[in-house]
């Protein structure tokens, strides 16, 4: 079974354990996105066909394709007047016409993706990796391809060639798009098992790989299963250039300590000059939650205080948090500034913090009510409700002039919430991915929730629209794995990750 870092490490562990049980007859048990408001070009939602409706791309990275287990799919869900539906979609594998490569066992195509208008033609494109693809004699060399946007949606593709095959594995193990040099064209940042991040400049034709490239190297661990865990782009300092947040492991920690680095954009692109270390966490979103014109860094740290580092020391979580938290690091002209921590024990945040909730293991940013303040959806896929283990939940925190409001207006969704499709079931991991995008073109962000453990690891996606003031269950729907055109053989984990 393939895996990828954007899925919570805790969930992956549970999945691996369950998969082993499944082999012996047991039951199988079982995400950004996100640019800042001030970016010069990169926007907080994809539009692959430029029709004004926000689109969402979600993974089925463990899907079987033509009998090849774990070959992988990526599913593009095109927005419409009805929002996200199963009918307005396209499902791709490496066997799809025009897509580079061939579907092979355990490639993991689709596990990681990022959108941006890389050829500057007005249509968003989708960068998709197969981080476990064999390249020559390298069993986990990895590949990256760009699927090109058009008036009819995504079609065709171009390989983004790895310039240093022998120096790393898992090319494309992390991806992010942003206008890092402020030239009005989306660039693509690509991570691997190396600490070096390659940045490919946008603006080239479909017939060629992306344009000029350069590298940036944050102070994170390289090699093996290291390198960037995740990459996220947004304008934190308000200079109209995208900055990059790199989630990784701290140099000198023997991979025992997670760390994050802010790497600012500049006229010449990303630069480690002015880079800053941030609070810990594995998932990040960047959006202006207090409306001051600077993108704020929201980072999820889902682990519990009794977890151990590789050296046996205890992972430190501030305060009494046991079920996870998010850190809001406010943007400023000088970059990251003061930070605020929020858990399910903060103010009137619903749920109550309990060990194993994994609150903050996934999050997304977007403006649900159109008031100009970015809101944040936070997944807690390990939440237990009514005695049902790991059924999962999502909390929505609304932005304000004072930052995220934790005293009123918060929303809490689970599959047991009236109007939400489905029901609370063991190991559904509802909230294992979240994405905010204006799929129905009303100017307000709607919520897409992944439940990768639904139906024994098939996975499912839930759509909750905005009514203009808040998210609502009126008009909600669930999209199953089969309805998305993905095989249900061998637990595809549909909707485990969404493009950022």
Ordered DSSP codes for 110-160: TSEEEEE-TT-SSS-EEEEEETT--BTTBTT--EEEEEEP-TT--EEEEE-
The pLDDT value recorded for residue 26 is 29
Q: Average pLDDT over the chain, rounded to whole?
A: 89
Task: Report the C-alpha gap between 447 and 422 in whole angstroms.
Answer: 16
Chain segment 203-253, per-residue pLDDT in tens: 888 877 777 899 999 988 887 778 999 999 999 999 999 999 999 988 776
Answer whether residue 24 shows pLDDT above 70: no
Confidence of residue 17 (pLDDT cuts 50, 70, 90): very low
Read off the pLDDT of residues 269-297 as tens digits, 9 standing for 90 and up: 999 999 999 998 989 999 999 999 999 99
**DSSP state string for 197-266:** EEEE-----TTS----EEEE--SB--STT-S-SEEEEE-SSSSSS-EEEEEEEBTTSTT-SEEEEEE---
CB-based contact 446:466 (threshold 8 Å): yes
Average pLDDT (316-335) is 82
Nearest to 14 by CA among 386, 281, 460, 390: 390
pTM above 0.85, yes or no: yes
Tell me the per-residue pLDDT of 443-493, one tens digit each, with 9 for 90 and over: 999 999 999 999 999 999 999 999 999 999 999 999 999 999 999 999 999
Q: What is the pLDDT of residue 222?
A: 84
pLDDT band at 3 (very low <50, low <70, confident <90, very high): very low
Please say if the pLDDT value at position 177 is more than 80: yes
What is the C-alpha to C-alpha distance for residues 74 and 86, in angstroms, rounded to an integer? 14
- Burial tier of 348 (Cβ tally within 10 Å: 0-12, 13-18, 19+): exposed
Evaluate if residue 69 carries a pLDDT over 80: yes
| Model pLDDT, residue 23 | 27
Q: How confident is the model at residue 43 (pLDDT cuts 50, 70, 90)?
A: confident
């Amino acid at each position: 079974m393939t895996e990828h870092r954007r899925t919570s490490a805790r969930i992956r562990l549970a999945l691996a354990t369950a998969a082993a049980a499944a082999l012996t007859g047991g039951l199988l048990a079982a995400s950004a996105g996100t640019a800042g408001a001030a970016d010069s070009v990169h926007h907080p939602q994809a539009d692959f066909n430029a029709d004004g409706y926000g689109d969402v791309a979600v993974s089925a990275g463990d899907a079987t394709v033509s009998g090849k287990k774990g070959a992988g799919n990526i599913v593009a869900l095109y927005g419409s007047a009805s929002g996200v539906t199963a009918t307005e979609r396209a499902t791709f594998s490496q066997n799809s016409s025009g897509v580079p490569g061939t579907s092979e066992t355990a490639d993991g195509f689709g596990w990681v993706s990022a959108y941006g208008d890389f050829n500057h033609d007005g249509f968003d494109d989708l960068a998709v990796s197969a981080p476990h693809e064999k390249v020559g004699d390298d069993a986990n060399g990895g590949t990256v391809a760009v699927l090109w946007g058009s008036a009819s949606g995504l079609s065709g593709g171009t390989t983004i060639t790895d310039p240093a095959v022998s120096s790393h594995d898992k090319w494309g193990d992390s991806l992010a798009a942003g206008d890092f040099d402020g030239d009005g064209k989306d660039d693509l940042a690509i991570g691997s098992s190396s600490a070096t991040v390659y940045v490919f400049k946008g603006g080239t034709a479909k017939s060629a790989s992306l344009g000029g490239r350069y590298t940036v190297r944050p102070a994170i661990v390289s090699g093996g299963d290291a390198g960037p865990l995740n990459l996220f782009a947004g304008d934190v300092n308000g200079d109209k250039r995208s900055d990059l947040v790199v989630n990784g492991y701290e140099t000198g920690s023997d991979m025992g300590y997670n760390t994050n680095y802010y790497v600012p954009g500049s006229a010449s692109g990303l630069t480690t000059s002015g880079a800053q270390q941030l609070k810990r966490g594995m998932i990040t979103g960047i959006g202006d939650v207090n409306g001051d014109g600077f993108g704020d860094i929201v980072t999820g740290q889902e682990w519990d205080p009794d977890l151990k580092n590789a050296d046996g020391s205890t992972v430190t979580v501030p305060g009494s948090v046991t079920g996870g938290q998010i850190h809001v690091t406010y943007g400023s002209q000088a970059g990251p500034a003061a930070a605020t921590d929020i858990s399910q024990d903060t103010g009137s945040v619903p749920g109550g913090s309990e060990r194993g909730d994994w609150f903050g293991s996934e999050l997304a940013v977007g403006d649900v009510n159109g008031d100009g303040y970015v809101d944040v959806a936070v997944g807690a896929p390990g939440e237990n409700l009514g005695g049902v283990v790991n059924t999962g939940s999502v909390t929505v925190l609304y932005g304000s002039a004072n930052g995220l409001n934790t005293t009123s207006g918060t929303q809490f969704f689970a599959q047991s919430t009236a109007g939400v499709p489905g029901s609370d079931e063991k190991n559904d991991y509802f909230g294992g991915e979240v994405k905010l995008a204006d799929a129905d073109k009303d100017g307000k962000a709607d919520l897409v929730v992944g439940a990768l453990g639904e139906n024994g690891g098939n996975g499912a996606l839930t759509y909750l629209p905005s009514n203009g003031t808040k998210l609502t269950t009126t008009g909600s729907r669930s999209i199953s794995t089969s309805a998305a055109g993905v095989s249900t053989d061998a637990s595809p984990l549909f909707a485990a990750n969404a493009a950022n």
